[in-house]
Amino acid sequence: MSEKNPLKRAADALRGAVDGPEEGIPGKPGTESPSVAEPVEPRDPPPPKPDQTGPDTVSPTGQPTGADQARMAQSGSSLTNAQGSRLPDTDHSLKAGPRGPVLLQDHHLREKVMHFDHERIPERVVHARGSGAHGVFRSYGTAAGVTKAAFLAEDVETPVFVRFSTVLGSRGSADTVRDTRGFATKFYTSEGVFDLVGNNIPVFFIQDAIKFPDVIHAGKPHPDREIPQAQSAHDTFWDFVTLHTEATHHTLWNMSDRGIPRSLRTMEGFGIHTFRLVNAAGETTLVKFHWKPKLGVHSLVWEEAQIISGVDPDFHRRDLADAIEAGAYPEWEFGIQTFPDTPDQTFEGIDLLDPTNIVPEELAPVQPIGLLTLDRNPSNFFAETEQVAFHVGHLVPGIDITDDPLLAGRLFSYLDTQITRLGGPNFPQIPINRPHAPVNDMLRDGFHQTAVHRGVAPYRPNSLDGGCPFTAGADMGGYVEAPVRVPEATKVREAPESFADHFSQPRRFWLSMSPVEREHIIGAYTFELGKCYEQAIRERALQVLANVDPELCAGVAAGLGLPAPEPTEPLADVEPSPALSQVGHTWPTDGRIIGIITGEDGDLDGVAAARQAVLDGGMVPLVIAPKGGKLGSGGGALTVQRTYATARSVEFDALLVAGVPGVGEDAYGARDAKAGLPSVPSTADPRVGLLLAEAYRHGKAIGAAKGGQESLEAAGIPLDAPGVIVGDDATTVLQQLVQLLGTHRVWSASLPLPEYTG
């Protein structure tokens, strides 16, 4: 797939520039590709782009760092070594004569290779594959009654850095695998850093952090062959989640469409644990945090996700960066569910300390408290996205923890892991991790210490540094833990009885799904368990599913060719939660990508009009033709952005065939004809057929105008099928396509939606 940025071109076009660059030719939109001259003279460094400086912050010594940052960036006309000494040559080692041995005294060679040898740091033990973005959080002030956190007061703006991730894969793994996604947000507040380290799934596999190494060992590749990469479809994962049935709820979410998001921009986020808010009067409220994407929650279908893993493994990372670069800034509303801080810490019978539970939004509505906008791409992946270090213990006054045993273990782990990953205890001094609040700690020395601390008395009380630093009580904005009563108890290694309910919450999730979502879940379980070698594990998984729902169990059992077992305990009597279904809503179509298939003999006027209509609607048109270059001539010529060789259905949200598209020069039929070989005469390029058939199979809206119907018929797509629009005028067809796009996909009309999704 091309590396071009369709959204950026759309933005350029919207700003008045004409067509995007031709396929495969770098250059400014609308211009002929300029030849890039080889620089021969040193020149002054280009002025730094605004996003080339680190976060606007202060160093641990309280000194502004902006100037340091600029000095440390690659700048100046002459190449130097790391000590600032100018270099005449960096392409040849120092040798005893041109054909002689390389000399050990070549400091530049040794320094250059030594540094390269140490460029990599250990990837994260989980969530290694990630994509980040800068942004801003604007608070509505609606949470001010329940928390004294300064960044949640009315109209306060706080800079943020967000890192999205997959859990299981390595740093170079594909984006669209079936997995949970991390959604970690660093708020650089005026009272210090607050990290919300959440996921796109509101529950977790385990109830106690002591099992975290186990669940991750089970999910990661098998230790002997180190396969499969970034997958849960293997024996050890299913062995674990069927032996620890507390994992059933999270596993069910993973097998649902939530496990394969369409985009990072169309994912919800959840803080998962119950946290405790504290207001100015010292009153406490239990709370669950939510991120709600403005574009709605959308997913891929499984086949599509698998194709993308090969065609464009960076699909999510590219989509996020493209959208931000084009100015189509992704937005999420921040919300809270609040619960009274009662001694039993339950709500409507749901244990709030059990991280495998959600509280349905119908019981506790999500109240919006602010808006997150991601508006700046990192300028250096390593410095920012790789080195950012989140920690659930980075809290600010007004936000406190609860006794969720999963959270307790995390409070240890996140700090600990950075010591190995970032090489010592001074990682808070790395630019991306620096607080924006002044730091005045008494932590000293250690690996990678970059602060030049002053004073002689890093202890307190002292009389030598004027007594500084002094401590700050709650009245001076100090972080004072909520004085929560700890029950008198005996030390035990046990879970509370309420943690033993492993099936009622998964059952609620299943019952809340629309028919098509249920089909997808059954398909996902059947696929994953079908990849397991051990029959006993498949059978155990079916037993777990029988306790969730007989229809689910029977569907998976049928696919595996195994008998469906009876439940071993009574099915829970729970109400569905309509808010959990992704189907049945209408969403903005901003930034959606529409492929317009045409050719030399296509309906070029129709294409031009449809293309403009797509742009006017805030979406992205991509013209697809048999070969690159221009279609038509003169000022109205259309630039081809994808050819039949470079287009694949997965890149588009909807397709429009305008006129009869031609056959590409490189199509098999054309090649055979050129070689004088007998070939099946073809009026339709087989790649157009594949494009259309895949899009249709994946529930995408497809339109055809002015003879485009022939292509649909050649692809075996019934012209009266749901989601297929046929007409004479490309723009009219397009308008109907866009309406369908508002529901994300056209799920088969034969699958009625359940009543509650309306």
737 binds ligand HDD, rule: CB under 6 A? no
Burial of residue 533, with CB atoms counted within 10 A of its CB: 0-12 exposed, 13-18 middle, 19 or more buried: exposed
Minimal distance, residue 59 CB to ligand HDD, in Å: 22
Query: What backbone torsions phi and psi does residue 740 show, to the nearest 5 degrees?
Result: -65, -35
Q: Out of 4, 8, 262, 410, which residue is the one contacting ligand HDD (CB under 6 A)?
A: 410
For residue 127, indicate whether it is catalytic.
yes
355 binds ligand HDD, rule: CB under 6 A? yes
244 binds ligand HDD, rule: CB under 6 A? no
Q: Helices marked H in 591-641 — which ranges?
A: 604-616
3-state secondary structure of 283: coil
Map the footprint of ligand HDD across residues 588-647, applying CB under 6 A: none
240 binds ligand HDD, rule: CB under 6 A? no
Mention every residue, 6+ apart, whose C-beta is less than 8 A from residue 426.
443, 446, 447, 448, 449, 450
Q: Select the residue whose beta carbon is closest to ligand HDD and give its number.
A: 182
Rounded CA separation 469/461 (Å): 8
Catalytic residue among 108, 127, 698, 744: 127
- What amino acid occupies position 22? E
3-state secondary structure of 716: coil
Q: Which is nearer to ligand HDD, 272 or 594 (CB)?
A: 272
417 binds ligand HDD, rule: CB under 6 A? yes
Q: If we measure between CA atoms, which residue out of 195, 128, 198 comes closest to residue 391?
A: 195
By CB under 6 A, which span of 152-160, 194-202, 436-444, 583-591 interacts with ligand HDD? Answer: 194-202
- What amino acid occupies position 423? G
**Furthest CA-CA distance within the chain:** 97
Q: Out of 4, 9, 163, 394, which residue is the one contacting ligand HDD (CB under 6 A)?
A: 163
Catalytic residue among 199, 254, 357, 426: 199
Minimal distance, residue 101 CB to ligand HDD, in Å: 45
| Cα R_g (the chain), whole angstroms | 29
411 binds ligand HDD, rule: CB under 6 A? no
Q: Are 220 and 232 in contact (CB under 8 A)?
A: no
Q: Given the structure tokens 């056959």, which residue do they identify?
A: 663
Q: Which is nearer to ligand HDD, 171 or 453 (CB)?
A: 171
For residue 357, indicate whether it is catalytic.
no
Rounded CA separation 682/669 (Å): 7
Minimal distance, residue 415 CB to ligand HDD, in Å: 8
Mention every residue, 6+ apart, whose C-beta is less than 8 A from residue 102.
93, 94, 95, 109
Map the footprint of ligand HDD across residues 111-150, applying CB under 6 A: 124-127, 130
Residue 188 bridge partners (DSSP): 193
Q: Out of 204, 240, 503, 747, which residue is the one contacting ligand HDD (CB under 6 A)?
A: 204
9 binds ligand HDD, rule: CB under 6 A? no
Mention every residue, 6+ apart, whose C-beta is less than 8 A from residue 364.
288, 337, 338, 339, 347
194 binds ligand HDD, rule: CB under 6 A? no
Q: Which is nearer to ligand HDD, 164 or 329 (CB)?
A: 164
Taking the CB of residue 510, how many other CB atoms lie within 10 A of it?
A: 21
261 binds ligand HDD, rule: CB under 6 A? no
173 binds ligand HDD, rule: CB under 6 A? no
Minimal distance, residue 260 CB to ligand HDD, in Å: 18
Minimal distance, residue 431 CB to ligand HDD, in Å: 16
- Please report, for residues 107, 332, 351, 508, the alpha-carbon distance to residue 358 in angstroms, rounded to integers and kept in the order given: 60, 20, 9, 10
Counting Cα atoms < 13 Å in the Cβ hemisphere of 538 gives 22
202 binds ligand HDD, rule: CB under 6 A? no
Q: How far is CA 199 from the centre of its chain?
A: 10
264 binds ligand HDD, rule: CB under 6 A? no
Q: Out of 272, 321, 604, 702, which residue is the one contacting ligand HDD (CB under 6 A)?
A: 272
Annotated binding site for heme: which residue ranges? Answer: 124, 163, 212, 410, 414, 421
Q: Given the structure tokens 């439940």, which residue do they identify?
A: 567
Q: Out of 212, 237, 289, 509, which residue is the one contacting ligand HDD (CB under 6 A)?
A: 212
Minimal distance, residue 332 CB to ligand HDD, in Å: 15
Minimal distance, residue 220 CB to ligand HDD, in Å: 12
Q: What torsion do the CA atoms of 747, 748, 750, 751 make, to the nearest 10 degrees?
A: -20
3-state secondary structure of 23: coil
580 binds ligand HDD, rule: CB under 6 A? no
Tell me which residues are annotated as active site: 127, 199
Using CB under 6 A, list all residues that contact ligand HDD: 124-127, 130, 163, 165, 182, 184, 197-199, 204, 209, 212, 272, 355, 388-390, 406, 409-410, 413-414, 417
